[in-house]
Amino acid sequence: MSDDPRTRLATLLREHALVRESVMLSSGRRSSYYFDARQVLLDPEGAALAGRLMWDHLAPAGPAAVGGLTLGADPLVCAVSATAWAGGRRVTGFFVRKEAKKHGLQQWIEGPFIEEGTPVAVVDDVLTSGGSLVAAVEKARQAGGVVVAASVVIDRGEGGREVAEAALDGAPLHALYTSAELLETGRPGA
């Protein structure tokens, strides 16, 4: 087992999240491989590694909250928030619904989303077309958040980065890995 968190997480993703078969992606495109990242991100080791690596990227931007579109972002929101707390920072989590609640307060955002002007980071597991990340950015802004950074576990390199960066309007977007890195079996996650 590697002591390097990035190398270890890459190994876990290759061994437990990478599915090499023809699948339909949420973007509507077909692909010869799929990353079922929740197979790793819902495991305590994978969650701890991803939380640590993401927080290392997001912390310099100073978010007070971290969130993303449910379901892909859910384990990351919890992992990043817990990692920040372990390091002495209170960073609350929030989930962006795919549609507003039909009852109660009819909210798009669930969680203790602080107040107008709160600096927030947006996260997601896999970036393909950018649609999920952009939806989360838009809803966070509509709720009064100021998006200061974004992070994904895997950037598939299929145009989503450019779409997301345009929506982020200058806030940095970090990817822990590209799909090319994880598809190369000879590389340890460099």
Summarize pLDDT for 69-83 with one digit per residue, the tens.
Answer: 999 999 999 999 999
In this model, does residue 29 exceed pLDDT 60? yes
Q: What is the pLDDT confidence band of residue 188, given thresholds at 50, 70 and 90?
A: very low
Domain 5-183 has CATH 3.40.50.2020: yes
| DSSP string across 68-131 | EETTTSHHHHHHHHHHHHHTT---EEEEE-SS--SSTT--SEES----TT-EEEEEEEEESSSH
What are the pLDDT digits (tens) for 107-144? 788 888 668 999 999 999 999 999 999 999 999 999 99
* pTM for the structure as a whole: 0.92
When the pLDDT of each residue in the chain is averaged and rounded to a whole number, the result is 92
Domain residue spans in the chain?
Answer: 5-183
Helix (H) or strand (E) holding 152: strand 146-155
* pLDDT confidence tier of residue 40, bands split at 50, 70 and 90: very high
